[in-house]
C-alpha cells in the first residue's frame, strides 16, 4: 500500500510492532461495559482491532480515524465493519450513539475542547464517553532526551514539532465539563509498556515521535536515536526489553 504523503501513519508497522496499543485497550472495554445492540463510535480506531472486539460482542460499531492508511488497513482486515476516515474535531454526528469509545488517540488532538464538543454532540442523551489517552508526564524520559540531543547538536528544536497533548486529570475533566459532560470517573496512572524487539525504542520513535525531528536529515535522526538509546538504556531497558515510560489518563463522562 502506497502511503499518502500527507499521512505519516505506517499501518503495517503499527500492526507488526505496536499491537500493544490495542492489547492494553482491551481492559478499557471492561470500563465501557458495552451491551448487546448498542451503537458505539470508536474514535481513533487505528487498524480496527478494538472495533473487532466490540463487533464480537454484537455491538453496532462504527470506527473512525483521521488516517486513511489506518482505515484502509482496518477495512482490509475486517470488511464487515463500518470504518471511515474522519477527524474527531470535525464530526457531524448528532445524538446518534449510546457510547463513544477512544483508546490512545485523543492525546494526538491539540484542539481538545473542540474534539470534546464533537464527541458530546455525537452522543444520545444519557450516553457515555469512555477514553484512555496519554496523561501529564507521558513518555517524558524519551521526549526530554530527544530534545536534549537535538539541542546538543545545535539543531534549534522547535517546540511546535511536539505532536501530543498530555493533560492532567484536572485539565481534561475541566474541558469535559465545559463541553457538557458530567465526569464520573478520572484516573491518572503509570504503565511502563514493553516495546517489541531489541530495537524497540528506535521503532517506537520512528512510529510515534518522528515529527519531533522536523526536517532533520536522516543521518542526524539516526545519530540522535543512537544517543537516546545509549542514555536511556539504564532506565528503560530491563531483562532484554525496552520499556516506554507511559502515564495514562482514563475518563468516563455522561451526557445528561
The CATH number linked to 110 is 3.40.50.150
Residue 221 belongs to some domain of the structure: no
- What integer pLDDT is reported at residue 22 of this predicted model? 53
- DSSP class of residue 36 equals T
Class of residue 92 by CB neighbours under 10 A (exposed 0-12, middle 13-18, buried 19+):
exposed
- The cell numbers describing 135, all together, are 496523561
Q: Which segments in the chain show pLDDT lower than 70?
A: 1-25
The predicted structure's pLDDT at residue 223: 97
Is 147 a domain residue? no
For the chain, strand residue ranges (E) read 39-43, 60-65, 82-85, 97-103, 123-134, 182-195, 237-238, 241-254
Q: What is the dihedral of CA 150, 193, 246, 11, to 10 degrees?
A: 70
Q: Judge whether 103 lies within some domain.
A: yes
The number of folded domains in the chain is: 1
Cβ atoms 93, 122 nearer than 8 A: yes
Give 222's DSSP letter: H
209 lies in some domain? no
Query: Which pLDDT score is estimated for 16?
Result: 53
Inside any domain, residue 144:
no
φ, ψ of residue 243 to 5 degrees: the values are: -125, 145
Residue 35's CB: how many other CB atoms inside 10 A?
12
Structural domain includes residue 148: no
pTM equals: 0.89
Residue 235 lies in a domain: no
Q: Is residue 5 part of a domain?
A: no
The range of the structural domain enclosing residue 174 comes to 11-139+163-197+244-254
Amino acid at each position: 500500500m502506497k502511503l499518502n504523503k500527507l499521512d505519516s501513519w505506517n499501518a503495517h508497522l503499527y500492526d507488526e510492532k505496536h499491537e500493544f496499543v490495542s492489547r492494553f485497550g482491551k481492559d478499557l472495554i471492561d470500563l465501557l461495559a458495552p451491551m448487546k445492540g448498542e451503537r458505539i463510535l470508536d474514535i481513533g480506531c487505528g487498524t480496527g482491532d478494538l472495533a473487532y472486539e466490540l463487533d464480537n460482542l454484537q455491538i453496532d460499531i462504527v470506527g473512525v480515524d483521521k488516517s486513511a492508511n489506518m482505515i484502509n488497513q482496518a477495512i482490509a482486515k475486517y470488511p464487515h465493519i463500518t470504518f471511515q476516515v474522519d477527524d474527531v474535531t470535525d464530526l457531524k454526528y448528532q445524538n446518534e450513539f449510546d457510547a463513544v469509545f477512544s483508546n490512545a488517540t485523543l492525546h494526538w488532538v491539540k484542539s481538545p475542547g473542540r474534539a470534546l464538543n464533537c464527541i458530546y454532540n455525537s452522543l444520545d442523551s444519557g450516553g457515555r464517553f469512555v477514553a484512555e489517552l496519554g496523561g501529564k508526564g507521558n513518555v517524558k524520559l524519551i521526549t526530554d532526551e530527544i530534545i536534549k540531543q537535538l539541542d546538543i547538536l545545535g539543531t534549534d528544536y522547535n517546540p511546535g514539532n511536539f505532536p501530543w497533548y498530555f493533560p492532567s486529570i484536572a485539565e481534561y475533566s475541566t474541558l469535559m465539563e465545559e463541553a457538557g459532560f458530567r465526569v464520573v470517573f478520572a484516573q491518572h496512572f503509570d504503565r511502563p509498556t514493553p516495546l517489541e524487539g531489541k530495537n524497540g525504542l528506535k521503532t517506537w520513535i520512528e512510529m510515534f515521535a518522528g515529527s519531533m525531528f522536523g526536517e532533520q536529515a536522516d543521518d542526524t535522526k539516526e545519530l540522535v536515536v543512537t544517543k537516546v538509546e545509549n542514555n536511556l538504556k539504564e532506565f528503560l531497558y530491563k531483562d532484554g526489553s525496552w520499556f516506554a515510560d507511559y502515564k495514562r489518563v482514563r475518563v468516563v463522562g455522561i451526557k445528561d
